[in-house]
Amino acid sequence: MVAPLLVAPLLLLFAIFFVVPFVEIMRISFSGQGGALAGATWLMSSSLFAVIFLNTLKLALTVTLICLGLGYPAACFIAGQPASQRGIYLALVLLPFWTSVLVRTYTWALVLGREGLLNASLIWLGLSDEPQRFMFTPLAVHLGMVQILLPVAILTLVGVMTELDPGLARAARVLGASPWRAFWHVYLPMTKPGIVAAAMLLFILSLGFYITPALLGGPRHRTIANLIDLQVHQMNDWTSASAMALVLLATTIVAVVLLRWLVPDRTLHGGAG
């Protein structure tokens, strides 16, 4: 009898701040001036939406892969430390994680600007004669997003890796496996649930990124979130904006389902699997 009461506050919060706005968004997207299908028609016919949607998917995918590529070795390293020292390394990862996304994004603008730290260093080192353009490039967007999301990757992976029995990889080595073979056939498969969980989180978070692409990429590197903002603020077209919000949600759900299907539920939560 007590259990339902315990989740009641959460359910209430969820109902007020997710279900109600969501139903409203559904209503707006199917009740535009041009009829019930105006939003859907716009989605199907707009080349703007098609290009930006694909760009957003591509961006989310590359950022996810880069974060995994950089985060995995770092997580291995941290998980391999004695428990007493792990805290220090985790703190180093958490520190930027606790800093506001806005602050970190602005800091990148300062570093990458025409008269910023990076250009000043390049010129001082004699590697470049004049300032290079880093701001408002795909490079800037990727850098910013990877730096913001990397802690998510590392923390998720460390969580899984510290649960593993280090004896298993050692056993493989003792039995004659090369370090590479022990990693590839023993360690990596055991961390697969961590990789999938991290990928899922990273991809979903990347899909909805707004501030970082807006500030570091500008209007030439818009994501779906930025396009929704444009629709609402510049074009006064809430129907299309709502329709896009639904597409974003649907994409997220598809991504979750796909990953769930790739890795069974039990291993996602079971840690050592």
- Binding footprint of another protein on the chain (CB under 8 A): 46-48, 51-52, 55, 113-115, 131, 133, 135-136, 218-220, 222, 227, 230, 232-238
Closer of 233 and 269 to another protein (Cβ): 233
- Which residue type does 6 have? L
Pick between residue 220 and residue 269 the one whose CB is nearest to another protein: 220
- Shortest spacing between CB 227 and another protein, in angstroms: 7
Nearer to another protein, 191 or 242 (CB): 242
- CB 238, min distance to another protein, A: 8
Query: Can you read off the two tokens belonging to residue 156?
Result: 């998720």
We find the least distance from the C-beta atom of residue 37 to another protein, in angstroms, to be 18
Question: Based on CB atoms, which residue is closest to another protein, 84 or 234?
Answer: 234
Angle at CA of residue 141, ends 79 and 98, nearest 5°: 45
Nearer Cβ to another protein (205/244): 244
Neighbour tally for 17: CB within 10 Å: 10
Q: How far is the CB of 205 from another protein (least distance, A)?
A: 23
Q: Are 187 and 179 in contact (CB under 8 A)?
A: no
Nearest distance from C-beta of residue 243 to another protein, angstroms = 14
As a whole number of angstroms, the distance between CA 240 and CA 231 comes to 7
Closest approach, Cβ 250 to another protein, in A, equals 22
Q: Cα–Cα distance between 181 and 174 in angstroms, integer?
A: 12
State the Cα–Cα distance between residues 79 and 155, nearest whole angstrom.
Answer: 10
Q: Pick between residue 163 and residue 237 the one whose CB is nearest to another protein.
A: 237
Rg over alpha carbons for the chain, rounded to the nearest Å, is: 22
What tokens does 232 get? 């609402």
* CB-CB contact of 222 with 244 (8 Å): no
* Nearest partner of 223 among 210, 204, 234, 242, judged by Cα: 210
